[in-house]
Structure 1
Amino acid sequence: MTERLVVIGGDAAGMTAASQARRRRPAEDLEIVAFERGRHTSFSACGIPYWIGGTVSGPEALIARTADEHRARGIDLRLGTEVTEIDPDRGRVRSRGADGREEWTSYDHLVIGTGAVPIRPPIPGIDAPGVYGVQTLDDGEAALAALDRGDVRRAVVVGGGYIGVEMAEAMLLHGLEVTLVDRNDQPMNTLDPDMGRLVRKEMEQLGVRIASGAAVREVLTGPDGRARAVVTDEAEHPADIVVLGLGVRPNTELARAAGLPLGAYGGLLTDRAMRVRGTDRVWAGGDCVEVLNLVSRTEQHVPLGTHANKQGRIIGTNIGGGYATFPGIVGTAVSKVCAVEIARTGLKESQARAAGLRFVTATVESTSRAGYYPDAGLMTVKAIAERNSGRLLGLQIVGREGAAKRVDIGAVALTAGMTVEQMVDLDLGYAPPFSPVWDPVLVAARKVADAVAADRRAG
């Protein structure tokens, strides 16, 4: 008897799950129906800031697999069709097409891949023309159309996280005067404040004006109804274009209405096989779920395409008759603004405290290559280790070319549960064009290992 898999959401998690399930089970054994309310499928949202900035082409270049390619593989993909209700008791979903017609579709397996939605605070003017989010390809097209008007000179970016700093770069590349408004004291709140200050210094040197500790109260509009300024408690910042980079939240209203379990961040809770807890045939992955942080052992919402694709593959494998699990994450992320690279993995200090961990830290300055080799770039590396045990808890890096991807050393060490003493002895690749004799990450590990040893002697 043929089973039916229904997928809600046509991006990374949902379509990876559908594609993997199809590889393992033929159409006569498993019918696959996928609903996507937008016009595009399987696209890289992470690439949108670089498309807007002109570094990469798009939108076609950002689409990993088109709707027609999915259909050619035996997936009934329905674009412009929104799922409006999940009925887990009867095993069915209700959808509404572009023509307004509604219908119920039954399922034997359901994959929820509804992603996340941008945070838009309820302030006056936030929805005015000239205010842009950066979540979909349609968002990117709208922002580019505004920039191509020719009368845009000043940009205000609201939010200093990953999207905020990336969009600040995109606006700089368009030759605009850029102001970044952030309610936090430093940009990149995913870093500790001392490392965030380094990012701020670098961005200011690039010409970005940063208004920190400033919550947005209103977006003012002109006689034409378009945004003309962003107002905070302290100042009014003129703008010809406003870009929102305030982060995202899990898109789980459908799941909430269906009574499915949500976590503290509003994301769906799953087991390690990515099956929604308390259900037998409902699965979820991507930006709409919460995941286990292997360092703090707490659930977190970490919206990244890397996790979404892995989780989709795991779901498809399990529906396809195999067995796979998602062990969790360590919180690795990298970004850049022009030539400045930013990276972190594991916990920052406030997260370690919240987890009840006692720790020591060390911060070092080094270079990406041997000091005598041309174009060696400076970088700052901060390591956090647990007191007594010496277990690595986190690593943060701010620097120039060759800095960001070094954080992967820390990601592997965190996943393996290594101590900083063990890290010091890692056999990393060395040649003057690539690294000093002591790689900057190992220098930081050695220094924090000394702090651990001193703490043990004192205790």
Structure 2
Amino acid sequence: MVEHVVVIGGDAAGMSAASQARRRRGADELRITVFERGSFTSYSACGIPYWVGGLVSEASDLVARTPEQHRARGIDLHTGTEVTELDLTGRRVRSRELATGEQRWTSYDQLVLATGAAPVRPALPGFDAPGVHSVHTLPDGEALLDTLARTGPADGRRAVVVGGGYIGVEMAEAMLLRGYQVTLVHRTPEPMPSLDPDLGALVREGMVKLGIEVVPGAEAVEVLLGPSGRPRAVRSTVGEHPAELVVLGLGVRPRSDLARAAGLALGIHGGLRTDERMRVLDAEGARVDGLWAGGDCVEVRHLVSGRHEHIALGTHANKQGMVIGANLAGEALAFPGVVGTAITKVCELEIARTGLTERQATAAGLQWVTATVEASTRAGYYPDAVPMTVKLLAEQVSKRLLGVQLVGGPGAGKRIDVGAVALSAHLTVEQLLFQDLAYAPPFSPVWDPLLVAARKLAARLFG
């Protein structure tokens, strides 16, 4: 008998699950149906700011596999189709074609929820006006580029970016590259709240040097419109900020409305909870038979804090999709969790973190010690060596590494991967200190900046 798998969501997690299952089981064993409300599949949403900024030429450059390519591989993919209801008892889903309104029920043996996340867009005056853009999907990017093309040369034009997280700082760079005068408005004391404030201050200083006006501690409350109905300013809790264009970077929330309506249990961040094989759990922690979930709609276990977090990244989504697809094909693959690694940049300034911040470590009930050092990306005498700052966080009693944060010039950011591996391996600060990292003057000082920070932190831990 042919088993039927239905997947809701055609991007990273959903199509990874479908593709992995199809590689392992042919159409004579496994029928795969995917419903995707948009028209694109398997694309890099993380690349949209660089497309908008002109660093990537075409939207097609961000697409890993088109709907036609998926269909050619034996996946019954329905784009422009929204799933509106889950019947978990009857093992069926109700879908609606957006173009025609036609609805139908589809039965399944196994169901994969990969509904992703939705951008936060407050219901505030003016936030739905033309010229106010979110940047979450390829159509969002197209709409913003259309606005840029319609308004003509950017000379003298002003853009306000609302939100100081990853998307906010990346879109500030994109608007700067497009020639706009840029203001970043955010409600936290420093941009990049995923960093500790002392590292966030370095990001602010770097952005100001680039000519970006950074307005901290300011919560946007209204987009003021001109006679044309388009933005003329953003009003925040600290004043008005002139703008012909507004970009929202206020984060995302799990798109879990379908799951909630079906009675499934959600975590404290609003995402679905799963076991290590990505099988959905109920409120008592028992597996829901025939139900899987992955990507931005789930909460994942943080390997350092032991807590469940909502961390919306394509890296996790693709791995979780791979795990689901392998398990659907009868294998036994597990997703162990994450350490919270992330990286971005603003022009030449690279920003990265992994593990816990001071605030997160305190919330997890840990006693911690930190050390911060200023170092160089290469040997100081080598051309193009630039400064970088490293901050390490460790548990006071066990001496294990808890977190790493980096801010610096080109060559700084990818060092975060050493920290990520160290955290996954539960290394102590002393063990990190004696790691055999590569050295040559074009790549690093003789003491790599992470090891300099580890040496300083070890001195504090061991007295």
TM-score computed with the length of structure 2 as normaliser: 0.97
Shift of 1:28: 1.1
Match of 1:147 in 2: 148
Q: Report whether the alignment pairs 1:187 with 2:188.
A: no
Give unmatched runs, 5+ long, in structure 2: 282-286
Distance in 2, Cα, partners of 1:128 & 1:35: 30
Question: CA offsets, 1:350-394, max 9 Å, x none?
Answer: 000000000110000000101110110110000001102110000
Match of 2:284 in 1: none
**2:288 match: secondary structure:** coil
Q: Report whether the alignment pairs 1:76 with 2:76.
A: yes
Q: Report whether the alignment pairs 1:103 with 2:104.
A: yes
Match of 1:169 in 2: 173
Match of 1:457 in 2: none
Q: What is the correspondence of 1:6-405 to structure 2 with a 5 Å cutoff? A: 6-97=6-97, 98-149=99-150, 150=152, 152=154, 153-277=157-281, 278-405=287-414
Distance in 2, Cα, partners of 1:293 & 1:58: 36
Q: What is the correspondence of 1:418-429 to structure 2 with a 5 Å cutoff? A: 418-429=427-438
Shift of 1:67: 0.2
The amino acid of 2:420's aligned partner reads A
Distance in 1, Cα, partners of 2:10 & 2:397: 47
Distance in 1, Cα, partners of 2:196 & 2:396: 18
Distance in 2, Cα, partners of 1:183 & 1:125: 18
Question: CA offsets, 1:291-315, max 9 Å, x none?
Answer: 0000000000000000000000000
The amino acid of 2:294's aligned partner reads G
Distance in 2, Cα, partners of 1:396 & 1:260: 36
The amino acid of 1:183's aligned partner reads R
Distance in 2, Cα, partners of 1:224 & 1:7: 43
Residue in structure 2 matching 1:412, options 410, 421, 430? 421
Question: CA offsets, 1:423-458, max 9 Å, x none?
Answer: 11000111000000000001111111111112xxxx
**1:281 match: secondary structure:** strand
Distance in 1, Cα, partners of 2:186 & 2:137: 23
Distance in 2, Cα, partners of 1:233 & 1:331: 31
Question: CA offsets, 1:302-344, max 9 Å, x none?
Answer: 0000000000000000001111000000000000000000000
**1:390 match: secondary structure:** coil
The amino acid of 1:17's aligned partner reads A
Question: CA offsets, 1:396-447, max 9 Å, x none?
Answer: 0000011000011110000000000001100011100000000000111111
Distance in 1, Cα, partners of 2:303 & 2:339: 6
Distance in 1, Cα, partners of 2:89 & 2:125: 41
Shift of 1:222: 1.3
Shift of 1:151: 5.6
CA RMSD of aligned residues (A): 0.7
Kindly report structure 1 stretches of 4+ aligned residues shifted beyond 3 Å. Answer: none
Distance in 2, Cα, partners of 1:289 & 1:318: 17
Give unmatched runs, 5+ long, in structure 1: 455-459
**1:35 match: secondary structure:** strand
The amino acid of 2:435's aligned partner reads L
The amino acid of 1:364's aligned partner reads V
Shift of 1:223: 1.4
Distance in 2, Cα, partners of 1:257 & 1:320: 29
Shift of 1:52: 0.2
The amino acid of 2:226's aligned partner reads G
